[in-house]
Structures are given as C-alpha cells and as structure tokens.
Amino acid sequence: MLFSYICTPVPHKGSQRGKFAMVQEAVEGVPQRGTLLRRAHELLESLGRPTAEDLLIQHLFGASEDTQNVTTGRNAVWTLLLRQVLNSSSLFEQTSEREWSLSSWRSTHMPLENVEFVVLDTETTGLRPGPDRVIEVAGIRLRNGEVIDSFQSLVNPNRRLPPFIVQFTGITQEMVSAAPGAAQVFPDFFNFIEGAILVGHNVGFDIGFLSHEAHLLGQAFPIDGIDTILFARRYLPALRRFKLDLVANHLKIPAANRHRAMGDAKVTAAIFLKLLALAQQQGIQTLGNLRLRLQLPVAWSGDITDASVSRQLDQWRVDGKLAQKMEAPPRPNGGLFLNPAWKRDFPAKPGVYLMKDENGQIIYVGKAKCLKDRLASYYSQPLGYTRKMDGLLQNVREIETRVLGSELEALLVESQLIKQLQPAYNVQLRNYELYPFIKIDVQHPFPRVYSTKEVAADGARYFGPFRSRRIVDFTIELIQKVFPVRTCIRSLPPLAKPSDPCLRLHLDRCPGPCRGNVDPAEYAKVIEQICAFLGGEREDLLDRLRRQMLEASQQMNYERAAWLRDTIRSADEVLIGQRLITGAVEANNLFIVYPSAREDHNELFLVRHGRLVQQKCIPHEPQEMKEAVLELLDVAAALGDAPSIVGKAEVDQINIISRWIHHHSDDRAFFPLQPALTDPHERRFLTQRIWVEIDAARAQPSILLVEDQEEDL
C-alpha cells in the first residue's frame, strides 16, 4: 500500500487561512483544519475515485443530507467551508463543479514506464522530527527503469551531532558545520522531487522529517510515498524480515556505503526497480494498478483490473478512520546501537545492570530475574517505544552487570543505586521529593497543619509519606474543612496583641486563637483528633460525618448533604492511603528464605517493621543454616517496637518489600514473626521449623519459586 504521512500543508495563498477561519467560526463544532484534511484524504484514498461534495461534507462535518438542505443558505455554508478546506492544500483538486479528487491521481492511468519516481533517503540526528533534524538528504529520479537525475547534500543542523550518530553514519561535526543550512538545501530538494512519486525504505520516517523541514520553510510537502518494505512483503513471500540489507541480499544487490543518504538511496532504488519489474510481470501496468495492489492484502491474487479496494477494506469507523488493520513499517530497534558481542557475556542470573555512556557515566539502572534474557530484549526493543527509551539505547556504550542472590535483593539494590547515582533515564524512583509529609508542630500551643519535604528531630508530629504533593495539599484542605484548626501564620497572644479574626472563625472553621481567649487544652484535643485521622485510626470520624449527611438529607439540605458525601469519600481515601504505609510497617515482620543464585546456597532476609534489617547468603548445610537463622532471630528480638516515624530513605524499601510480600503471599519461603520475640526457646523452635521446611522445599524447587512479575518498564 502507499504509506501516507498526514501533515497540515501550508496554504498556497496568504488569505486562504483567514478565510477558512472566518467560515469555520460560522459553523459551530467544526473540527480543526488539519483533522478535516486528514479525513478528506482518507475518504478519497479509500474510495479510489473522485467523490461528490455532498459525500465529503457528510463525512467531514457529520452533516446529513437533510441537515444540508434545511435552507439553501446553510447548504451554501457547508459547501463554502469544504472548498476553503480543500483549496488550502495542494493535495486536492476539483475535477468538476461539485466533485473532488486527489492531485496525485492525475497520473493514476499513466503507464509505469512514463511515471517518474524519486527514491529518497535521509540521515538525521535522531528519531523525532522537530527535536531532531536532517543532516543529509539524497534522491535519485527514475523513469522507465533509468536514472535521469540525482540530488545529494549534507545539511547543517546547527547543533552538535550525538556521538552515536557520528559512529553510525560516519558523518562528523566538521562535515556538517561546513555544509549549507536547511534554508539553502531544501528549497532545491523540493524542486528536485516536484511532480514525482516518492519512494523509500520505511519511507514514512523520511517523509516525517522532510515534512517538518518543509513546515519550517512555510512550504507544503507530499504525504504519499511507496514504501519498499510493504512492496517487498507482497512480492518476496520467502522473506520474513525486511531490513534493507536483507532485502538487498535476497535480490543479490550489493549494499555499499550504508547509512549514508546516497548509498542507501542507491540500494533502495535498485530494490524498487527489481520489485517493479516483478509487479509488471504479474500484470501491474499503471500507477493506479500499483497503488491498488499495494492496498490489497498480501495473499491477494487475481486480475488487478477486477479488484476493488472498496470491497477489500472494512467499513469506516464513526470517527472517520479506517478500520482496516494497515501494515505498519518496522521501527528501528536497539540492535542498531547495542554491541551484539555483549550478549555472550550477560549472565543468566538475577541481578542489576548499569548502562553507561561514552564518558562512563551511568545513565540507567535496571533489575532482572534473568539478566541475560532482560538485556537481550533491548536488542529488539523499538526505539522510542516508551518515553524512557527515547535516546537511551543510542547513548549506551557499556553495560555492567552485577549478579545478586535473588530478585528481591535486585529490587532493593536497584532502588538504592538509583537514589545514589541519580541516572538520567531513571525517573520513577529517582527523587525523594515524590514523598512529602504533613507536619504538626505540637510544641506550639496552637499548631498549624502544613506540608514539608523534610523530617527533622524537632519534636513535631510528622505524617506520611504521601504519594505526591497534590495528595498532601488535598489532605490538608480536607482537614481544614472538617476540623476547626488555625491556618494563619500571624503572631498570637500573649506574644502579640489580640487581633480581629478572619472569615474562618465565622464559618466555624477556626476557634480564633488570634483573639486571645481560646483554651490551649481544648485546641490540643482537636489536634489529637487530626493526628488520629492522619494515622488512619478515625473510623468514628467517618461515622460522625455519615450521620451529619443523613440529617442534612432528611432536612432537605441537599447542598450540605452533597458536600458531606464528597468529604466522606475524600476522608476515606486518606485513611486508606495512610493504612497502607502503617500496615506495611506493623504487619511485615517476616523471615524470608530463597535459593540463592550461588549453587547450594540460600538467601536469608530478615524483614522487621516493613524494613530489610539484614540479609545473608548461607550454604545449605544444617549447622550453618541453623546458626545463621538463630542469629537473625536474635537480632529481630533486640529491635523492639516499630519506629514512630518513617523516614524518606525507607519509603521505597518499605513499598518494594510490601509489594513483594503481597505478590508472593502463598510462598512457602515466608515465615511470619511475632511482634515480640523475647522467649529464646521460641526462637530456637522457630529456627528448627524454618530449617525443616526449607530443606524439604529445596527437594522440590518449584514449590519455592514463583513466577516473576513483568518489569515496570
């Protein structure tokens, strides 16, 4: 099929855009101009023939025939709007008074030997038009199987070239610095391709960049092109992969000077001519035949003159897009940039990996149950598949692996390394500011409730961590609605003179300590209620609010009832959120044993109050195992109660361990511990039990091990 990269072409005349805007304002709800052009192009291309204005109006604007004909004036508005839209682009032309077609169809019935094609290729600084720019462009103009003209030029992108692009293409900074800029190169190139059908290998990539360059110059650019990848899929059924080198090798075409624009254009031109000859042998004689064949399924066979695109395509969706599953050209992947020799050295064990750039700087840290499998997957990962992948693989010059005893250890080590190293491409776990707290300075006689990023040993009460600053602000606002608490920062009596209260006093939202007649003991009771609420302990608060909501509803005060309903919902969310971290600290007292990546060893984890206290790798021998287990249980007994404050550095560890425990809750490798382990006889009994169960489980490893989760990438 013909690959279409839809852009918004620049109008031919300066007044066209203004006229279109005026008409658009006259018709309420008309979509944006770029959307209308895209819909019109899709409809005409799918029908494959000139189309009446009435059908275009119905498809573009959703106006039915009845709606169009309500009044003559209304019909005239739709028609004027349609014509202004289509006239603003060189893609369309009016074939009769009330009929439109695509400009490219003028050559539809032209024999292939008379059609002129331009095979093009670009080299760029990256993969995204806009942030990245073209650094070399080349084109070869063909007619009747012969080269009739060519174009080649380096382009100065006015920026530094990424090192991987220099290595990949051989184009140096000195070469582009001496080259002409885009404003000098592309007007000549656009003149060179005028009137020709564009051809390229993954042509959408090139068209995307050239369309952007045209847009910067205020010019339109063709959006149609024949993709030799899709062409090869229809005429080379023996091939499974369609990279340029593979297709060239299959057709016995020498591929020289690769990854330079003219070198790749020459290879692509040779491929195109051979595929075109195959198509002509199978009855494809005109450009229209070729367009039609490339739109039909790969397995289609028959006389092309009897084929109908409209019978082969599915119905239009309501939003105007084709429901047909179009074959997308393959995207470039990590294998273009990662050294294939590295794969031999990746260990098939759990651990963490550190990706480094050319300066040895660590730019990404990851973890895996099997390092070999995880790292091998990067070679086939499409570039730009996720925002995190944008630019990562292109900058990798070395991958360091660190084998660890288990994946739980890898999860914890990964989090620690990200906090320590702050890699550029690790965002999710990098910043402690993701975890703000709420502070109440209880040493003040009338404390406020406010947010803070730091937890200090200053005698204040801290609550959290919360998932984001937004949730903290929301929680504080909720507290200020439900509890009568001070929000101002003014000085209070007796340090200052009594002052006039603010509006919150009159709304019963604050007792007004600024007046100097509020009992600190009564205010302290309110603060204790707030602290209990923030600790996830105030179910009675919700019950009180529910009673108030019911009373308001019975009194037909529906506005207050609705406010109370929303407040209850919000308060419940806060309570649940705080129970998550509180529950993790209080409930996660465990002894975890897993087979180690080291042969005949076990990994021992002591988790106390949600935190990893100690970890050991011990040989699977009765005496050594029992001694190590008992030693860790003695450590657990000496720790005492859970700390009252959760520090920022512990947040990720608590969350990682909590998620791990949740997903492995049925695993026989988990041994819950009592909050208090003061009895030495109980600890020795538990030691023996752990050894017996682990020794039995190691005889059936599948009982111990569970399937790992997908990595969060």
- For residue 583, the tally of other CB atoms under 10 A from its CB is 13
User: Does residue 533 surpass a pLDDT of 90?
Assistant: no
Residue 328: predicted pLDDT: 41
- For residue 412, the tally of other CB atoms under 10 A from its CB is 22
Residue 583: predicted pLDDT: 46
Residue 211: predicted pLDDT: 86
Question: H or E segment at 608?
Answer: strand 601-608
Tokens of 475: 């929680």
pLDDT tens, position by position, 208-248 = 899 889 888 877 676 668 999 989 988 888 888 888 999 99
pLDDT tens, position by position, 143-162 = 999 999 999 999 999 989 98
- Which of 232-236, 474-478, 611-615: highest mean pLDDT? 232-236
Is the separation of the CB atoms in 620 and 632 below 8 Å?
no
- Indicate the range of 223-227, 650-654, 678-682, 709-713 predicted with least confidence: 709-713
The more confident residue out of 33 and 491 is 491
Tell me which long-range contacts 126-132 makes (C-beta under 8 A, separation of at least 24).
126/162, 126/165, 126/391, 126/394, 127/205, 127/332, 127/383, 127/384, 127/390, 128/384, 128/390, 129/208, 129/209, 129/211, 129/212, 130/212, 132/209
Length of the chain: 713
The more confident residue out of 146 and 609 is 146
User: Does residue 13 surpass a pLDDT of 50?
Assistant: no
Cut 0.85: pTM above it: no
pLDDT tens, position by position, 49-96 = 788 888 888 877 765 544 444 444 556 778 888 888 888 777 788 877
DSSP letter assigned to residue 623 = H
Instruction: Give rounded-to-5 percent helix, strand, coil for the chain.
Output: 45, 15, 35
- Indicate the range of 7-16, 135-144, 639-648 predicted with least confidence: 7-16
User: Does residue 434 surpass a pLDDT of 70?
Assistant: no
Residue 371: predicted pLDDT: 93
pLDDT tens, position by position, 263-305 = 999 999 999 999 999 988 888 888 877 877 777 766 666 665 5
Amino acid letter for position 168: F
User: If pLDDT is split at 50, 70 and 90, which confidence band does 262 have?
Assistant: very high
Q: Widest CA span of the chain, in angstroms? A: 101
User: If pLDDT is split at 50, 70 and 90, which confidence band does 516 have?
Assistant: confident
What domains can be seen in the chain, in order of their start residue? 2-107 (no CATH), 113-307 (3.30.420.10), 334-427 (3.40.1440.10), 434-584 (no CATH), 589-704 (no CATH)
Residue 140: predicted pLDDT: 97
User: If pLDDT is split at 50, 70 and 90, which confidence band does 679 have?
Assistant: confident
